[in-house]
Amino acid sequence: MTPRSRRWSSRSRDGRTTIPTATAGGDEGDPHEVAMSGPPGGGFPGAGSRPPGRPSRPPLDAASRQAREEARRQMRRTYMTRRAFVGGGLVALFGGLAAAVGAFGGGGKKRPQVQSIPGATTTPTEVGHVFETVVQGGRVMDPESGYNVIANVGIDAGTIVAVSESTLTGATTIDATGLVVSPGWIDILSYEPNSYGIWYKVADGVTTNLGLHGLQARAADFFLRWGSEEERPPTNYGGAFSDPWTRSQVLGLGVDDPASASQIAELVRLCEEDLAAGYIAVDFEPEYTPGVSFDEIKALAEVAKAHNVPCTFHGRYSDDVAPGTNAETLDEIIRVGQETGARVHIEHIVSTGGTFTMAESLGKVQVARDAGVEVTACMYPYDFWATYLLSARFNDGWQERFHITYEDLVVVGTGERLTASSFASYQASEDNILTAAYAIPETDVRLCLQSDFVMLGSDAILEPGNRNHPRSTGCFSRAIGRYTRELEVIDLMSALAKATILPARLTDAGAPAMRKKGRVQIGADADLTIFDAATLADRSTVEQPGVESEGVRYVLVAGQVVRDLSGNHQEVRPGAPILKG
């Protein structure tokens, strides 16, 4: 832990607190010592000169002159930092340029305005109002509205109550100059928020941790445990009813056992109870429970539909080799949506449902969407998946199905490459080790990221011992850093949408709390991820999964700072349950 005196800067004479921004090197520094991208006064290199032959601009009308003067005043108020992105020389300009272009109507596009969520209260009068917290001078990016402006965010009582280019006064001020202010990132495909791994999620920018891959507990027990003073996490938390866990642990069914009609009726009753107790989805994993019938899935999906929550699927098959193909997996999931009207969601489509057939798989999903089926998907941005050696995925024929050999398998946490001998030895032992399999084409990852209905989901959370896929600690920073800045596969706003508004929309019909997540808007919860777009990156590996991501400077949950320049604040745990309404 870092002493509090090092986490916060000294108070000013009026008693207000300023939290400094980071210098270009990523260290805590004087908030006034930032690189200027133009000459003093807010101008740009070459201002005042005109190339030979360029005609003079027509005179501005009164409204345009007023807009220009306001833009100039804005540039004088705002420090400008030019960050060079290493991928392809892409340059992001954090400063007054966007404000000036927007004010003049540059490009002919209407400038996005600050939005308010339905039912939001009126913004407090900015002049004279002292907010509890102000996030100052960052590039505020709200994927739902398209708002992308250097602005200030005012927070009171855990809620965003002002987003303004005008100066705001706060009892505490976070200097976000040169940083991006994003809605807090939502991990829809996580697990129980254990007190070890959840802090790596925070370092990866996550503010809401949802176990939609199914939780291994009854809902009442889950919320009682994680709502306790001892276990309460720093992030918001919630999850899904797990069909495979319930049929196994409650009904005693084996993975290959089909449920009888009476057992399906009991599963329906248990599902109803767990949704009433707060779960916000219903999860299925036919690949790991091949005995589950379509009748069982359909009966539970009808419960999900009645409660307005999605069904999430780890599909039945995960390869392109018949019998049992990706196409069959997607057909079954889409059929559930067609016959019940429930929203259906494909978990980690890069490893289950799309591997080696991604273009065709995404096309099949799009056809269903065009026909009115509410179907979405998620992915993690890695070219390898991971599962336990004793799982059904390693049944006979796995090499042909996944186009890999023993040498493509690596023991997570050690880096040991397997051989035929060591594979057989591990399978014969009682140690059900987690193994990474390099079986995902990089082209599949990129196609997924470019699809507008695919969002991010890590499918992991780090546990003590660090024997987990590095997606547990680096999923979001890798997607938003590597694939936006370095490889330019998608733009930054689209990447942020996959971590914010898309997962919020997947769940907000049945979970009212999610209607205030994934947005930087008036009335939204003050869950914010503030990061340096020039340095954001994952650092965890298969050999060392337990390494924090780089570039996430501040994380706020309900307006409380759970991470700042000094690291995580493990004594601050404001997480709240995400419950079905």
- Per-residue pLDDT tens over the stretch 520-566: 999 999 999 999 999 999 999 999 999 999 999 999 999 999 999 99
Condensed to tens digits (0 to 9), the pLDDT of residues 348-377 reads: 999 999 999 999 999 999 999 999 999 999
How do 454-456 and 180-183 pair as beta strands? unpaired
Condensed to tens digits (0 to 9), the pLDDT of residues 390-441 reads: 999 999 999 999 999 999 999 999 999 999 999 999 999 988 999 999 999 9
Condensed to tens digits (0 to 9), the pLDDT of residues 496-513 reads: 999 999 999 999 999 999
The pLDDT value given to residue 111: 74
Q: Does residue 43 fall inside a structural domain? A: no
Domain extent at residue 280: 183-195+210-215+238-520
Condensed to tens digits (0 to 9), the pLDDT of residues 442-485 reads: 999 999 999 999 999 999 999 999 999 999 999 999 999 999 99
> Per-residue pLDDT for 59 more than 80?
no
Please give the single-letter amino acid code of residue 170: G
Region of residue 277 (phi > 0: left; psi between -120 and 50: alpha; otherwise: beta): alpha
Element (DSSP H or E) covering residue 400: helix 398-402
Helix, strand, coil percent content, the chain, rounded in steps of 5: 30, 20, 50
Q: Does residue 99 fall inside a structural domain? A: no
From the CB of residue 395, how many other CB atoms can be counted at a distance below 10 Å?
A: 9
Paired strand residues for 211: 189, 239
The pLDDT value given to residue 554: 99
pTM: 0.83
Condensed to tens digits (0 to 9), the pLDDT of residues 140-157 reads: 999 999 999 999 999 999
- Average pLDDT estimate for 289-295: 98
Sign, CA dihedral 350-353-359-365, equals negative
Q: Does residue 360 fall inside a structural domain? A: yes
The pLDDT value given to residue 23: 37
As a whole number, the mean pLDDT across the chain is 85
Total domains in the chain come to 1
> Looking at 95-109, 171-185, 535-549, 553-567, which range is the least confident one?
95-109
Cis ω before 323 (30° cut-off from 0): yes
Q: Does residue 345 fall inside a structural domain? A: yes
Q: Does residue 42 fall inside a structural domain? A: no
More confident residue, 76 or 125: 125
Question: Which of 277, 227, 198, 309 lies closest to 576, judged by CA?
Answer: 227
More confident residue, 75 or 124: 124
Check which CATH number belongs to the domain holding 417 and give it.
Answer: 3.20.20.140
The pLDDT value given to residue 296: 99
Residues 289, 243 contacting (CB under 8 angstroms): yes
Q: Does residue 19 fall inside a structural domain? A: no
The pLDDT value given to residue 360: 98
Q: Does residue 67 fall inside a structural domain? A: no
> Per-residue pLDDT for 293 more than 60?
yes
Highest mean pLDDT among 109-113, 308-312, 413-417: 308-312
Residues 544, 203 contacting (CB under 8 angstroms): no
